[in-house]
Structure 1
Amino acid sequence: MKMTKRNGVFAVVLAGMIWTFASCSKDDDTIPANIEGNAIEVAQASTIAKPGTTVSVALSFADPGNGTMLVIHRDEAPLRSVPLQDGQTSYTFEDILPADLEEGDVVPYAFFIADEKNTITSDASAFEVSVALYDEITIGSSPVYQIELPEDGIIETGKVKLAAGRKYWLPHSVHFMSGTELQMEAGVELYMNTETGETYDVVIDEGARVDVTGTATAPVVVTSDKLLRDQDAEPGDWGQFNIKGEGNGSSSGHVEYLRVEYAGDRGFRLQGVGSGTTINYVQAYRALGEGIMPTDGDVRMKYLVATNCEGGGFRFGDAYAGYVQFAISQTTSFYDEVEAFTIRETASPVISNVTVVGPGEDVDDTHGMRLRANSSGKVYNSIVADFPRRGLRLNDKVTVTDLQGSTVFAYSYIFNVPRDPYRDDTENGNPFRGYLDAENVFQNPFFNNVTGFEDNDEDEPILATIDGIGTTSYIPQTVKNSAFNPASIHAFFSEANYVGAVSEAAADWTKGWVRDYEGNIHQ
């Protein structure tokens, strides 16, 4: 049975109930004026209960007189009528909830008085029951719902639903098998157990479905339970949020406004996820390894953020062949000699409007973007800035020809990288920085931010910069326009003929839901 969800229009619904009941009056088909003094007082406005259990609430009212009735509706439909005795001023209502209710369902009740003619003689009074399937426990000083799982953590049938605005605690890993579903509504906070010394994962298997429906003001958050225990949360406190798809074109569901915090080697992990899946607005915050890592599949994603992930912000691997637009990798500290943004193996993503900012020019070696192995990625309208060396590095068998070739880095900016801003380890040069032609004239076939070479030395490119972009900021002071519009590639891409993930402060899509590098919600 599906009960009414919380919707803020209960008064309108009750008015409809009253009209329906009054229209059945034996002598009058209009609603008479309410009789003053017949108001029903409900001892409490709401309660929380499990399906199949008995709920009760005390009602009180002035003596409505002999022959009157207490009329009760549940879920917008008549439930029962109770004759009232002369002089009666109270009643304890009890009802058994249907056994098939879901987590977060809301069961609304309405109470009002009717006279001997079945005419409503009071305003309706409301009471509602919010359904919770799980027991409430306390961690630190915070009440949370403990999710009940099979001992092995494997969900073989049905759906696990986490209701809007609630806090949950996951005692160990959970693995959703084919045909099952994880549903997480806006404002859900899922705390992962850190007390056993093991790390736990959330895994959506091939053929299973995930439905994460956060909002910009109420994102879904998966994080460390140390935050409840008044302890310092750390990268690696738990494992990964892992979605496994069925390959190109398949659908694993929908993810929107999800923040994954303090995860392990791979924070937000996608394996074989197909383009039928919707993924928008995801942040990986302080993962121990890579923040966001898709391999295989062709899922298309927008509005992605990786913040201070110790193994790099993004890694695109294996045969991943999806589209990505509007992505930010921000690293404000040195963790290891890693790349913030890597395309490797045979991956062939098409990517536009990326901003990759590093920890500064003077830290130990850490790098911006790397294209390696047999990959053939295409990157447009992007920014790489504030790294000590190797803004863009080419490795292995990466092949570059021209704008129509298999590997492209174009209409983009690299700056504040003092050593090897355009690095080549393929022995073929790095065409993305431009070159001097036979007449010693500078050519820039990929339209990047190189404006020439110091003393005509191709290892010393002169780089245009963008004000406002740096280690602690991914937002330019003003829009930096681009001659390239990614919408010309495919209908997936939005119109964005500017450089970087965020065009300007007025269009900042990270406000309200992204945790910044200092740990605060970005406002």
Structure 2
Amino acid sequence: MKKIAAFLLLGSFAFSIGCKKSDSSPDPSGGGNTGGDVVNPATNTVDIRGVIKADRKFTKDKTYRLRGYVYVTDGATLTIEPGTKIVSNKDSAGVLVIYRDATIVADGNADNPIVFTSNETTKAPGDLGGVVLVGQAKGNNNHTVIEGGVDAAFSAFGGTNDAHSSGTLRYVRIEYAGKAVNPGDEINGLSLYGVGSGTTIDYIQVIRGLDDAFEFFGGAVNCKHLIAYNCADDDFDMDDGYRGMIQYAISIKDPKFTDAKGTTGDISNNFEVDNVNPSNGFQLSRTPITAPTLSNFTAVGPNNASGTSTDYGYGMRWRRGARFVLANSIVMGGQKAGLDIDDDSTANYYKNDTSRFYNSFLHSVANNFQLGNSSAVKVYDVASLQAKVTGNDLSAVYADPAAIKLTDPFNTAAPNVKPATGSPALSTAGKFDYRGLTNAFFDKTSFVGAMDATNDWTAKWTVWNK
């Protein structure tokens, strides 16, 4: 036994010498699995690298530091106890990838959320890479590989199983995420690639992210209780044929904070929803078509506050062949426009009643309604769009956001989107009588927006002023 122990000790020493490389590079060949951890006894921090191929548990009595890209694969389950903290330093911007046949069980609670965050004394967006779930549900191959510099061995995603489960994320905060490898090639706060409806995503807050808060690349995952807070790019970005349902979500924008756009012409929005990018050579009708069904969102833009970044765009940008239903929601404070529809097919979907902004409230600093390019204008006009939204789709337009009477929605340090006494959000019952809204997934609310006056589902587990 002593010889075996000595051999193991020697092997551990050799492993530590062999791992002297750039921690920001993928390391698919080893580390971070069984016996390769480096533990700092002074801080009780465990360094995690490389590939996890066997079941593993992160416990709340330790802090776990992601060093570069960490891949969970080969059918392994990563379990993370409630109250556990997973950190990253800016020199490696750690990324946790739950790959196609693996599972995560990160099941926190309101008193003990699981937190992914920066390990820096002075914390900044990009200190953490982000969290990536990779499933086996259908997409339309608009993206053929995962963005953000992941190793080629772990870059494929999707499949044919829309009911596939990648596990559970519940009561989880993701702070200071975002990793830009190249323009348009980034890790987001929470990236969901081909994730199936068997996955549970509930009570997730993404805070001060350098890129998108939530991005859905195809798949059919359903989510509840999502918060995008002070993130630099789009808060809810959907493409590649995403067809899931989401209820109860909050989007808050810091007026002065956007990511570096360069000369791309990109802008930051509360919603940006595409089917495919035509520059990839695809028809906008490529199937499956991006067609989310969304209810009870409160999306708050910068509202032209002092110092608002010129890169802020729209409350909603629907384009490139996407269809949608957004119901029982409040979209307010959009900078350049409130409801923007680009491209002829996307405009036709709205014109023909396939898409709807339904039973909701809209306010914008500039145009409440916009057809954003000549292709959309060919099939529709702004006056007809407005008439349909406010007529057939039963949505209301507000010139003054104060008339919506939310408690303190534009206070980015301590936002409060709860309806105040007398708010029309409380006297407008939710409507769940159109297409996917009839699904049992949706709670049938007596109000519009993300919350009513009494049930604060953000209590205890969230943080603000970051």
TM-score when scaled to structure 2?
Answer: 0.72
- Cα distance, 1:364 vs structure 2: 4.3
Q: Distance in 2 between matches of 1:134 and 1:306?
A: 33
Query: Quick one: structure 1 residues 236 and 148, their matched pair in 2 at CA, closer, same or farther if it must change by over 3 Å?
Result: closer
Distance in 1, Cα, partners of 2:175 & 2:350: 40
Residue deviations 1:21-53 (CA, integer Å, cap 9, x gap): xxxxxxxxxxxxxxxxxxxxxxxxxxxxxxx99
Instruction: Report SS of the residue matched to 2:115.
Output: strand
C-alpha separation in 2, matches of 1:297 and 1:474: 30
Task: Work out whether residues 48 and 65 of structure 2, in 8 Å CA contact, stay in contact via their aligned partners in 1.
Answer: no
1:100-111 alignment, distance < 5 Å: none
Q: Report the counterpart of residue 14 of structure 2 in structure 1.
A: none
How far apart are the structure 1 equivalents of 2:103 and 2:111?
A: 24
Aligned partners of 1:411 and 1:449 also within 8 Å: yes
Distance 1:174 1:324 in 2: 28
* Whole-angstrom distance in 2 between the partners of 1:462 and 1:234: 34
Structure 1 position 322 matched with structure 2 position 244:
yes
The structural deviation recorded for 1:135 is 6.1
Task: Determine if contact 2:429/2:448 at 8 Å carries over to the other structure.
Answer: no
Equivalent residue runs for 1:396-475 within 5 Å: 396=343, 397-400=345-348, 405-415=353-363, 417-425=364-372, 426-427=376-377, 428-430=380-382, 431-434=384-387, 444-450=391-397, 465-468=403-406, 470-472=409-411, 473-475=416-418
Q: Secondary structure at the match of 1:486?
A: coil
Residue-by-residue CA offset, 1:425-471 (whole Å, 9 max, x unaligned): 32112455226xxxxxx9611111138xxxxxxxxx79893112531
Q: How does 1:280-295 map onto structure 2 within 5 Å?
A: 280-295=202-217
Q: Per the alignment, in what secondary structure is the counterpart of residue 171 of structure 1?
A: strand
CA apart distance, 1:200: 2.3
Q: Structure 1's 408 and 320: CA in aligned 2 closer, same or farther, altered over 3 A?
A: same
| Aligned pair partner of 2:431 in 459, 468, 485 | 485
Deviations 1:123-170 (A, max 9, x none): xxxxxxxxx9966426xxx72331454xxx0122x1121113532222
Q: Does 1:137 find its partner at 2:40?
A: yes
2:85 corresponds to: 189
1:84-131: CA deviation from partner (whole Å, max 9, x where unpaired): xxxxxxxxxxxxxxxxxxxxxxxxxxxxxxxxxxxxxxxxxxxxxxxx
Structure 1 unaligned regions, length at least 5? 1-51, 54-131, 436-441, 452-460
SS in 2 for 1:143: coil
CA distance in 2, matches of 1:259, 1:462: 33
Aligned to 2:339, which of 370, 375, 392? 392
Whichever structure has more helix as a proportion of its residues is 2
Query: Match of 2:301?
Result: 358
- Of 155, 158, 163 in structure 1, the residue corresponding to residue 52 of structure 2 is 155
Q: 1:384: Cα distance to partner?
A: 1.1
CA distance in 1, matches of 2:68, 2:402: 50
Decide whether aligned partners of structure 1 residues 395 and 253 sit closer, same or farther in structure 2, where only a CA change above 3 A counts. Answer: same
1:467 corresponds to which letter in structure 2?
A: K
Q: Does 1:172 align with 2:68?
A: yes
Match of 1:383 in 2: 330
Distance (Å, rounded) in 1 between the aligned partners of 2:390 and 2:111: 47
Residues 1:380 and 1:413: Cα distance change in structure 2 (over 3 Å):
same
State the secondary structure of the residue aligned to 1:391.
strand
Aligned equivalents of 1:355, 1:246: Cα separation in 2: 30
Displacement after TM superposition at 1:512 (Å):
0.9
Cα RMSD (Å)? 2.6
**Secondary structure of 1:480 counterpart:** helix
CA distance in 2, matches of 1:447, 1:165: 52
Aligned to 1:269, the other structure's residue is in SS state strand
- What is the aligned partner in structure 2 of residue 308 from structure 1? 230
Deviates more, 1:274-283 or 1:396-405: 396-405
Q: Which amino acid aligns with 2:334?
A: F
The verdict on how the C-alpha distance between 1:374 and 1:403 changes in structure 2, with shifts beyond 3 A counting, is closer
Tell me, yes or no, if the aligned pair for 1:162 and 1:183 is still in contact at 8 Å. yes
CA distance in 2: counterparts of 1:134 and 1:321, whole angstroms: 39
Distance 1:408 1:268 in 2: 26
Residue 176 (structure 2) aligns with: 262
Aligned mates of 1:410, 1:163 — CA distance in 2: 44
Distance 1:171 1:481, change over 3 A: same
* SS of 1:199 mapped into structure 2: coil
- CA offsets, 1:187-225, max 9 Å, x none? 00011133xx33321000101101001111110001111
Structure 2 distance, partners of 1:443, 1:355, is 18
1:217 and 1:443 mapped to 2: Cα distance? 42
Deviations 1:50-107 (A, max 9, x none): xx99xxxxxxxxxxxxxxxxxxxxxxxxxxxxxxxxxxxxxxxxxxxxxxxxxxxxxx
Alignment gaps of 5+ in structure 2: 6-34, 138-161, 179-185, 259-266, 276-288
Residues 1:235 and 2:187 are matched in the alignment: no
Are positions 1:299 and 2:238 aligned together?
Answer: no
Q: Count how many residue pairs are aligned between Structure 1 and Structure 2.
A: 359
| Whole-angstrom CA distance in 2 between matches of 1:163 and 1:486 | 41
| Residue 344 of structure 1 pairs with residue 274 of structure 2 | yes
Give the direction of change, closer, same or farther, for the CA distance of 1:334–1:463 in structure 2 (3 Å limit): closer
- Which of these two proteins has the greater Rg computed from alpha carbons? 1
User: Are the equivalent residues in 2 in contact too, given 1:361–1:389 (CA < 8 A)?
Assistant: no
- Aligned 8 A contact 1:410 1:432 in 2: no
